[in-house]
Chain A
């Protein structure tokens, strides 16, 4: 038999349930724009009905309902979408950094323009052509000097910019690593808090949202695999475990991060993209610039020396040593020369019968000047590429002539009117240099080599932009699906608000009815005739 006050209790439960629902709706509305928030619902369950088992079962209907109970408040979320999102997000992070680096490289290359490297190299050849028309005077030499300095400066400057870019990327690796470390720490901490709260039987909805948000942020930095275990999220990067329960073991420093990178554990995300950009893109363009500098100075090429050329005493070309009377070439001779340095040393400067100086030098950090590649190309590159300082000080040391009078005698005199060397220098614009001293000979003009670099950069950058755009679309799609499940819809919340308000009002009315019936029993019954 139900108690007299049964109805009041049922109505009370109803009021409380409606109130919880209203409060949760309010919470949802409040967090409409909170990042990472997933909408919450109050799960209502009818409470256990009153039954009267037994032989002397009463003559009332059993299973009398006892009202409602809000058993739990849970968030609406699909963990499958989370892992999908994190997968796409890491690729997004990776492509963002790559595309960004490549577009910065495009800025360094600065083509097409009238001020880029291509232009200064063209002006360098042109200045030699101008000089070839007036080799007896200093003015043409000054122009060659200035154009050479401009070209060398352009290479130095580009190399410096690339080095700066490398430093920036290294710094950004450190910053991103720090941020990843702190995110992992936060996840471990949240793991602990969630475990403690859920140990009491509740759902730590808002903390779980926070943990998912932090994991999302982490997934942009590195590739993560998330497993939900008893202790909370266990997070792996490749084979490395980064967070387990309340313990975070992030890569301690850049060195251990690089280990993970080399081992293939770190294979995506912004951190991977940054390391990749630094070690692949920037390094490779720096290598190409270095190759341009060292090849201009030392790269082999074939030229035809004109008839009547008098080579400096002791010159060795293709294994032939020119000395004495065979210094004078009685016919056109095809020889292999080692770079513009080698070529410049075949001639004579203005009025000085000692042979030409090396045209370019590489300045080592300790100030030493390297003028040939006998010690290898290690440490030589666009950054320390210089015009020979002796020539920079005295433009007359620029060699243009390949002929002396009285060859072999002590009174050799340079024939300044001979412009063979200047013409040869000017023709270098169409000469194929050996850009690769390996067995697979890769001969190209300087201009064509530079063009191929710019073309390659263009392809890479266009490709990176395309991949990034695709990835943005994919990531947005996954995010939209996630929002579709978990996002707060104001329309829905308003409708719910009305629904729960009505439920609350009805429960209150129910309470009033119960109150009236009891009032009837207590105050009005048993007063017959009164």
Chain B
């Protein structure tokens, strides 16, 4: 402790102390106005590394949520489309049962034939479905139409350029488009057309090979041809192959449904993670406003007290008391 105290010592000490008080108040004021207890790295060097990590993870999570939504819409659209294909098959099945009856006259068979033809065209439209301008059933060749829009009555012409082919000759792409759904996790969305509608036939396939195929377009072609020639027995025999194809399409649809479930689970998990991250981030970064206000009030009191005491101490000197 110094023994001899001068006016200037008291003065500078008071200024110093008031400045210190002000600095503390300023800090609290900053926390109060930004609502954050970390406003620069030096406020909490360890805390800020956590804060930055949480921020980055929240950013990434936000992106994964967007990706999950996009995945869900593609999958749901695929599901709807496969549903429509199922509906058409159901109708075709009825027609085939009707046509295989054997008791119908050719005019009736012709009527069925026409309807088969319409369903064939409709099925091609479904196989060529686009989502956001991209073909759904052609793997990664999203810009190429997978199935030829030729009529059942059109003849195959391999010599033409480009060759005229039927839908059952078309080979779809097996590439798989992956979406990134969370760190290190990608999920493929694609449903290959050949898996759904049946394996393609070689353009030079023999009638036997054609008869062995359960490609839906080939089946429709054969049904059409048989109805055209009045072969209702042959039509009835197609029923088994139709049923296998229908089952396959149902299985594919179930697979898509399962994938939707999986994505929904991922979505739930992303939401959970988001909640956890936000809580963690708030714990590290956010100021406890009530506490800050309390402290601010205390600092205010200290500040005012130091001002009033200072005012009393630095004012008088012996000068005031000498006559």
Contact B42 A483 (CB under 8 A): no
Q: Which residues of A contact B322 (CB under 8 A)?
A: 494, 498
Cβ distance B15 to chain A, nearest Cβ, rounded Å: 11
Q: State in angstroms the CA–CA spacing of A429 and B182 once bound together.
A: 11
| B8: Cβ under 8 A from any A Cβ | yes
Cβ distance A327 to chain B, nearest Cβ, rounded Å: 16
Contact B180 A132 (CB under 8 A): yes
Contact for A130 among B46, B56, B66, CB less than 8 A: B66
Residues of A355-370 contacting chain B, CB below 8 A: none
Contact A133 B41 (CB under 8 A): no
| A111: Cβ under 8 A from any B Cβ | yes
| A196: Cβ under 8 A from any B Cβ | no
Where chain A touches its partner, the secondary structure class is helix
Residues of B138-188 contacting chain A, CB below 8 A: 138-143, 173, 175, 177-180, 183-184, 186
Contact A106 B180 (CB under 8 A): no
Contact for B8 among A106, A450, A487, CB less than 8 A: A487
Closest residue of chain A to B36 (Cβ to Cβ) is: A112
| A109: Cβ under 8 A from any B Cβ | yes
Contact B317 A455 (CB under 8 A): no
| B308: Cβ under 8 A from any A Cβ | no
Contact A133 B179 (CB under 8 A): yes
With an 8 Å Cβ cutoff, the count of chain B residues facing the other chain is 58
Cβ distance B138 to chain A, nearest Cβ, rounded Å: 8
Q: Which residues of A contact B53 (CB under 8 A)?
A: 447-448, 451
Residues of A208-234 contacting chain B, CB below 8 A: none
Q: Which residues of A contact B48 (CB under 8 A)?
A: 111-112, 454-455, 458
Contact for B132 among A134, A306, A427, A447, CB less than 8 A: A134
Contact A488 B6 (CB under 8 A): yes
Q: State in angstroms the CA–CA spacing of A489 and B10 once bound together.
A: 11
Cβ distance B198 to chain A, nearest Cβ, rounded Å: 22
Q: Which residues of A contact B297 (CB under 8 A)?
A: none
Contact A481 B55 (CB under 8 A): no
Known: A33-B8, A455-B49. A417 touches B139 (CB 8 A): yes
Q: State in angstroms the CA–CA spacing of A423 and B185 once bound together.
A: 11
> Please, what's the 1-or-0 string for A317-330, where 1 marks a CB less than 8 Å from any CB in chain B?
00000000000000
Cβ distance A132 to chain B, nearest Cβ, rounded Å: 6
Contact for A126 among B13, B59, B138, CB less than 8 A: B59
| A416: Cβ under 8 A from any B Cβ | yes
Cβ distance A335 to chain B, nearest Cβ, rounded Å: 17
> Please, what's the 1-or-0 string for A425-465, where 1 marks a CB less than 8 Å from any CB in chain B?
01101100000000000000001101110111111011001
Q: Which residues of A contact B56 (CB under 8 A)?
A: 118, 122, 429, 447
> Please, what's the 1-or-0 string for A23-40, where 1 marks a CB less than 8 Å from any CB in chain B?
000000000110000000
Contact B8 A488 (CB under 8 A): yes
Contact for B4 among A122, A447, A485, CB less than 8 A: A485
Contact B52 A111 (CB under 8 A): yes
| B309: Cβ under 8 A from any A Cβ | no
> Please, what's the 1-or-0 string for A338-376, where 1 marks a CB less than 8 Å from any CB in chain B?
000000000000000000000000000000000000000
Q: State in angstroms the CA–CA spacing of A481 and B4 once bound together.
A: 9
Contact for B63 among A129, A136, A452, A490, CB less than 8 A: A129
Q: Which residues of A contact B183 (CB under 8 A)?
A: 427, 430
Q: State in angstroms the CA–CA spacing of A461 and B143 once bound together.
A: 56
Contact for B52 among A112, A132, A462, A476, CB less than 8 A: A112
Most buried by B among A403, A418, A476: A418
Q: State in angstroms the CA–CA spacing of A48 and B74 once bound together.
A: 116
| A4: Cβ under 8 A from any B Cβ | no
Q: State in angstroms the CA–CA spacing of A488 and B11 once bound together.
A: 13
Q: State in angstroms the CA–CA spacing of A488 and B139 once bound together.
A: 92
| B261: Cβ under 8 A from any A Cβ | no
| A271: Cβ under 8 A from any B Cβ | no
Q: Which residues of B contact A419 (CB under 8 A)?
A: 177-178
> Please, what's the 1-or-0 string for B70-84, where 1 marks a CB less than 8 Å from any CB in chain A?
100000000000000
Closest residue of chain A to B183 (Cβ to Cβ) is: A430
Contact for B317 among A118, A458, A465, A494, CB less than 8 A: A494
Q: Which residues of A contact B138 (CB under 8 A)?
A: 417
Contact for B142 among A102, A136, A483, A487, CB less than 8 A: A136
| B214: Cβ under 8 A from any A Cβ | no
| B103: Cβ under 8 A from any A Cβ | no
Contact for A489 among B6, B42, B49, B180, CB less than 8 A: B6
| B204: Cβ under 8 A from any A Cβ | no
Q: State in angstroms the CA–CA spacing of A420 and B7 once bound together.
A: 77
Known: A451-B49, A451-B53, A494-B317. A484 touches B41 (CB 8 A): no
Q: Which residues of B contact A423 (CB under 8 A)?
A: 178-180, 186
Contact A133 B140 (CB under 8 A): no
Cβ distance B148 to chain A, nearest Cβ, rounded Å: 18
Known: A122-B60, A308-B175, A403-B175. A462 touches B8 (CB 8 A): no
Cβ distance B155 to chain A, nearest Cβ, rounded Å: 28
Q: Which residues of A contact B141 (CB under 8 A)?
A: 405, 415, 417
Cβ distance A268 to chain B, nearest Cβ, rounded Å: 23
| A46: Cβ under 8 A from any B Cβ | no
Q: Which residues of B contact A427 (CB under 8 A)?
A: 180, 183-184
Contact for A480 among B2, B51, B66, B70, CB less than 8 A: B2
Cβ distance A440 to chain B, nearest Cβ, rounded Å: 22
Known: A480-B2, A489-B5. A417 touches B178 (CB 8 A): no
Contact B67 A129 (CB under 8 A): yes
Contact A462 B45 (CB under 8 A): yes
Contact A489 B7 (CB under 8 A): yes
Q: Which residues of A contact B9 (CB under 8 A)?
A: 480, 483-484, 487
| A336: Cβ under 8 A from any B Cβ | no
Cβ distance A252 to chain B, nearest Cβ, rounded Å: 37
Q: Which residues of B contact A455 (CB under 8 A)?
A: 41, 45-46, 48-49
Cβ distance A107 to chain B, nearest Cβ, rounded Å: 8
Q: Which residues of B contact A133 (CB under 8 A)?
A: 67, 70, 179
| A119: Cβ under 8 A from any B Cβ | yes
Q: State in angstroms the CA–CA spacing of A483 and B141 once bound together.
A: 87
Q: State in angstroms the CA–CA spacing of A483 and B9 once bound together.
A: 7
| A103: Cβ under 8 A from any B Cβ | yes
Q: Which residues of B contact A490 (CB under 8 A)?
A: 6-7, 317-319
| B219: Cβ under 8 A from any A Cβ | no
Contact A130 B63 (CB under 8 A): yes
Residues of A141-184 contacting chain B, CB below 8 A: none
Q: State in angstroms the CA–CA spacing of A462 and B46 once bound together.
A: 11
Closest residue of chain B to A121 (Cβ to Cβ) is: B56
Q: Which residues of A contact B51 (CB under 8 A)?
A: 112
> Please, what's the 1-or-0 string for A395-413, where 1 marks a CB less than 8 Å from any CB in chain B?
0000000010100000000
Q: Which residues of B contact A95 (CB under 8 A)?
A: none
Q: State in angstroms the CA–CA spacing of A106 and B40 once bound together.
A: 7
Name 20 A/B residue pairs within 8 A (Cβ), A-sorted: A103-B42, A112-B51, A122-B55, A126-B59, A129-B66, A306-B178, A415-B175, A416-B142, A417-B141, A417-B173, A419-B178, A423-B186, A452-B49, A455-B46, A458-B43, A461-B41, A483-B8, A484-B5, A485-B4, A494-B319
Sample of 16 further A-B pairs with CB below 8 A, known A33-B8, A112-B285, A484-B3 = A106-B41, A130-B63, A134-B132, A136-B133, A415-B173, A417-B143, A427-B183, A450-B52, A454-B48, A458-B49, A462-B42, A462-B43, A487-B9, A489-B6, A490-B317, A498-B322
